[in-house]
Amino acid sequence: MGSAAVSGFAGALNRAVLLMELNDFGEAESEFARAVALRPLDPAAQLGLAKLRYVRGDPHFARDLVVAAARDRSDGLLQFQFANVLRQTGDLAGSEVLLRDLIARMGATPELRSSLATVLHAAGRLQEAEGEARAAVGARPTDDTILANWVTVLLSLGRADAALPLIRAARARVPLEAAWIAHEAIAARVAGDPAHAVLYDYGAFVRVYDLEAPAGWPSISELNAAVAEELTARHGRVVRHPFDQSMRFGTQTIGDLTRAPGAAIQALLQAFVEPIADYRAKLGTAGNHPLSARNRGESRFAGCWSVRLMQQGFHLNHLHPEGWLSSAYYVSVPAEAADVGERSGWIKFGEPALPVPGAEPGFAVQPRPGRLVLFPSYMWHGTTAIRGTEPRLTVAFDVVTSTDSRAS
């Protein structure tokens, strides 16, 4: 391919990403499509186009990926990506077919066997998943992603005793890695190990702040109304959730809200500064805990976004591997959330992404307009579904510190 074509591809891809930040999704899709036309086998371009078409409600969101994958079955990377997209959009059977075909044609590489284990795990076929995951680890024992897939299957099988030594060996290598901390907390809980209470001390680490109106705003309700108006314009550009995120039945803004021009959103971000400082002051700086060990340097936002959950909307259990502290701020909440028996739309903590016997939610917080919840990014969290038609509108962000180094 000539240099002009390469330059045209890079330019189209870069413009697509910039246009996404500017919320110009129609032009962004055109640029992604142009990049795909120039390089149909490029995984980044294909994934960007498929993801954007998906949130815009295109029923044939992966059509270019389907064509490219069918045209060149020898491109293992593209086939692998296609299998991942199918898994993330709920087509487990289709993903399994693709992965087994890749294994038959290209060999049972550790990456393919581990990915197949992930699909089988999601389908509830735990014994098959364990066999594939164990074989993948046997072939690539130093790959933490492959090892983590095996650990999650072991936990779902109720084998915390087998998982815990593997987890602790990984934590010795990367002691501040969020996923391994989360895995240890769950394994320790199931095994009756005291490490669970140390890592998931809900009373100490999940803090609730009911915010006062910042300067220039007469009340927090008026600020929330203005924030909701600014966010509604952003949510209105998409019609469904991103397929690679935790939410279901709702929409999520695209682009970092810390760069949003709206005065209300910027005022809200300033209102978060004091609670973050209070959380850090109460946390301390003890070096023998993975949360307080990182409590040094200035606070920095590491991404900010908004989620609007609609009827039956909820968040799958997840964690934030790129953050240190994470959050949920409630702009508006359906009336049904007031029912302490139903707990509709409540945020829950301590339950992993896939079922683990003995690891049900350990703590929950009721959402209220004007309420900010701060918690460790390594803590498993999700939400219960809302049942009615009244939406639940939130702003979320991650915080890191200026001196952060998780590998230390």
Give the up-direction half-sphere exposure of residue 302: CA atoms within 13 A in the CB hemisphere.
17
Report whether pLDDT(269) > 60: yes
Q: Which of 1-10, 276-285, 316-325 has the lowest mean pLDDT?
A: 1-10
Q: How confident is the model at residue 127 (pLDDT cuts 50, 70, 90)?
A: very high
Per CATH, the homologous superfamily of domain 3-198 is: Tetratricopeptide repeat domain (1.25.40.10)
CA dihedral 254, 255, 257, 260 (to 10 degrees): -110
Q: How confident is the model at residue 104 (pLDDT cuts 50, 70, 90)?
A: very high
Q: What is the pLDDT of residue 2?
A: 47
pLDDT, average across residues 121-135? 98
Residue 168: partners with Cβ closer than 8 Å, 6 or more residues away: 184
Q: What is the pLDDT of residue 405?
A: 59
Q: Which two tokens stand for residue 299?
A: 């606070």
Q: Which two tokens stand for residue 259?
A: 């760069």
pLDDT, average across residues 152-163? 98
Top pLDDT among 7 and 56 is at 56
Q: How confident is the model at residue 406 (pLDDT cuts 50, 70, 90)?
A: very low
Q: What is the pLDDT of residue 7?
A: 67
CA distance 209 to 211: 6
Report whether pLDDT(157) > 90: yes
Q: How confident is the model at residue 208 (pLDDT cuts 50, 70, 90)?
A: very high
Q: What is the pLDDT of residue 72?
A: 86
Specify the pTM: 0.94
Domain limits, the chain: 3-198, 202-401
Same fold, 3-198 and 202-401: no
Report whether pLDDT(388) > 90: yes
Percentage of the chain lying above the pLDDT 90 cut: 94
* Mean of pLDDT over the chain: 95
What HEC string does the chain produce?
CCHHHHHHHHHHHHHHHHHHHCCCHHHHHHHHHHHHHHCCCCHHHHHHHHHHHHHCCCCCCCHHHHHHHHHCCCCHHHHHHHHHHHHHCCCHHHHHHHHHHHHHHHCCCHHHHHHHHHHHHHCCCHHHHHHHHHHHHHHCCCCHHHHHHHHHHHHHCCCHHHHHHHHHHHHHHCCCCHHHHHHHHHHHHHHCCCHHHHHCCHHHHCEEEECCCCCCCCCHHHHHHHHHHHHHHHHCCCCCCCCCCCEEEEEECCCCHHHCCCHHHHHHHHHCHHHHHHHHHHHCCCCCCCCHHHCCCCEEEEEEEEEEEEEEEEECCECCCCCCEEEEEEEECCHHHHCCCCCCCCEEECCCCCCCCCCCCCEEECCCCCEEEEEECCCCEEECCCCCCCCEEEEEEEEEECCCCCCC
Q: How confident is the model at residue 110 (pLDDT cuts 50, 70, 90)?
A: very high
Report whether pLDDT(287) > 80: yes
CA distance 302 to 401: 9
Output the furthest CA–CA distance in the chain (Å, rounded): 66
Instruction: State which CATH number among 2.60.120.620, 2.60.40.1580, 3.30.450.40, 1.10.1740.10 fits the domain covering 202-401.
Output: 2.60.120.620
Report whether pLDDT(153) > 80: yes
Asked if residues 381 and 347 have their Cβ atoms less than 8 Å apart, the reply is: yes
pLDDT, average across residues 11-15? 96
**167-180 pLDDT, tens per residue?**
999 999 999 999 99
Question: Residue 398: phi, psi to the nearest 5?
Answer: -110, 150
**213-234 pLDDT, tens per residue?**
999 999 999 999 999 999 999 9
Report whether pLDDT(27) > 50: yes
